[in-house]
Structure 1
Amino acid sequence: MPSAISPPEPPAPKAARGGRDAVPATNKKRKIVCFSDFDGTISLQDTGHILFNTYGCGSSKRELLDSQINSGERTFKDVSEEMWGSLNVPFEDGFELMSQQLEMDPGFAGFHAFCVKEGIPFHVISAGLKPVLRRVLDEFLGEEQSSKIDIVANEAEIKEDGSEWKPVWRHGESELGHDKAVSMKEARREVNREVAGKKLEMKEGEEEEVPLIVFIGDGVSDLPAAREADVLFARKGLRLEGYCVEHGIKYLPFDSFADIQKKLEEILEEDEKKTGGKGKPARFNPRANMWRRVSSRNAVPRYVVMTPKEERMFLWPEAFTLAVDDTRSRP
């Protein structure tokens, strides 16, 4: 068994983890749904980069291609197609390399077990390839636990001999290939439909459930999805946290998914303490943070002129593209 991606140790007993008694999902006043990026968030490296560096364009060419995205010379989707198209390796051989080099967040397995126990749906939203991510999760968590995670990512056409890797984009019309904001909005609508159905079945005197959407990420490509969340977790020291600090956007920092688990346990406990007896959340108010106010299509903030083109396109895809620099017409 390769050492980098090995099955996690069984979660420690609740008392050792400082956890709380499990609360059956049916007893919760509010539905919590978690969404997470994968590369750099659940895994500590980028799955694609490991493959490209060894079996594709190589690290030097990959860095050049990344710079073309950052400069606005080419779109994310265009560059990604070239990177994936450079691969010439059978899928299983490529995964063998990843299993040796890829490191997973040490707290992720325990966090996933916590979500399953608490009835919290967990979804991966990624700009990567779904077959690659599923294979990694199958190996790391085991197929049974991996199957409980919904992966929202791009599909792929991979020839058996590995001579061709072709992404099948979720949003082919978008320069992003996968517009994470669209996927998050679709997910929120689905959650709202579920809540609306429960509301019709509510008895007199029962309190309405208010869904809480959580997003976990690390980089600029997570900005579209992050702005759709009620609670944002950003990995410490990386670009998403830097952007939030620079622009005063509320977020919760984390080093490991164990930090996220602890905070969600606090949220669950705090939600059980009602304010004024009206069943309102004690601290976290869905869709009431600064993030969406400064990120909306109709409220592009004045500091946009100072924002790098890559970040403008990810944060306001409706208003900007990587190919066109139109900030001079903006406030």
Structure 2
Amino acid sequence: MSIQIFCDFDGTITNNDNIVAIMQKFAPPEAETIKQLILSQELSIQEGVGKLFSLLPTSLQDKITAFIKETAVIRSGFIEFVHFLQKNNIKLYIISGGMDFFVYPLLEGLIDFEHIYCNKTNFSNDTIQVNWPHSCDEHCKNKCGLCKSTLIRNLSSQTDFKIVIGDSITDLQAAKLADKVFARDFLITKCIEHHIPYTPFETFHDIQNEVEKLLGVRK
């Protein structure tokens, strides 16, 4: 059985959602309204996240980067999980709606950069602009920004056993394509709503235990 794992970053690999943390720290109050419109799916993820970052002056780049490096915490068990997957030749792709300026530094030395898919940021204007290098294909009409379901279709075959790990609305379309879903937080709510089977998790030790069962690994 060929297993491929597609893992979210914000709120999944990290304990907190870094975009939410950035907005709470640096954005004006209207950011909360935009966030709620994204969660309720009244705004597409692409439009909503673009609006959020456009609220932030580019002059804050260094402060925002320093803030994330100081406050982001990698979820317990993730480093061991990465080593476990490497030992068992299981491919791990990071598919993140997060931004390059904090995703890459936080994963440096852990994940090969060619296995990281995230959004790009442009700091050349007055406010931060988001570029979307991994947009939806013809099978997805959700204006995801970074389209996780498109990436799964491009990176895997129908015969692969696909595992999706995530925590929020941005992981819903990916979860619909998965053979197994590990979910926490708001993704659990959406999985229940859409009748998607899932396994809850708090740490990557939980996930590793379940993947070991799939492989028949004996401790």
* TM-score range relative to shorter protein: 0.7 to 0.9
Q: Distance in 2 between matches of 1:259 and 1:149?
A: 26
> Per-residue CA shift, 1:271-297, capped at 9, x if unaligned?
x9xxxxxxxxxxxxxxxxxxxxxxxxx
Q: What's the TM-score, normalizing by structure 1? A: 0.58
Is the contact between residue 100 and residue 121 of structure 2 (CA under 8 Å) also seen in structure 1? yes
Q: Secondary structure, in 3 states, of the residue corresponding to 1:126? A: strand
Match of 2:44 among 70, 75, 78: 75
Work out which of the two has the higher radius of gyration on C-alpha atoms and give 1 or 2: 1
Q: Distance in 1 between matches of 2:144 and 2:35?
A: 14
Match of 1:250 among 193, 197, 206: 197
CA displacement at 1:42 relative to structure 2: 0.8
Match of 1:36 in 2: 7
Match of 1:178 in 2: 146
Gaps of 5+ in 1: 1-29, 193-209, 273-331
Superposition map of 1:282-321 within 5 A: none
RMSD: 2.5
Higher RCO (CA-CA < 8 Å; seq separation 6+) = 2
Aligned residues: 212
CA displacement at 1:67 relative to structure 2: 2.5
Q: Secondary structure, in 3 states, of the residue corresponding to 1:40? A: coil
Is the contact between residue 125 and residue 151 of structure 1 (CA under 8 Å) also seen in structure 2? yes
4+ residue runs over 6 A deviation: none
- Is 1:115 aligned with 2:79? no
Match of 1:216 in 2: 165
Q: Distance in 2 between matches of 1:163 and 1:181?
A: 32
By percentage of residues, which structure has more strand? 2
Q: Secondary structure, in 3 states, of the residue corresponding to 1:116? A: helix
Q: Structure 1's 262 and 151: CA in aligned 2 closer, same or farther, altered over 3 A? A: same
Match of 2:20 in 1: 49
Percent identical pairs in the alignment equals 26
> Per-residue CA shift, 1:141-178, capped at 9, x if unaligned?
xx3x332671122222223xx84321111227862212
Match of 2:112 among 139, 147, 164: 147
Q: Which amino acid aligns with 2:135?
A: H
- Is 1:167 aligned with 2:130? yes
Q: What's the TM-score, normalizing by structure 2? A: 0.85
Q: Distance in 2 between matches of 1:146 and 1:71?
A: 32
CA displacement at 1:38 relative to structure 2: 1.0
Q: Distance in 1 between matches of 2:191 and 2:162?
A: 18
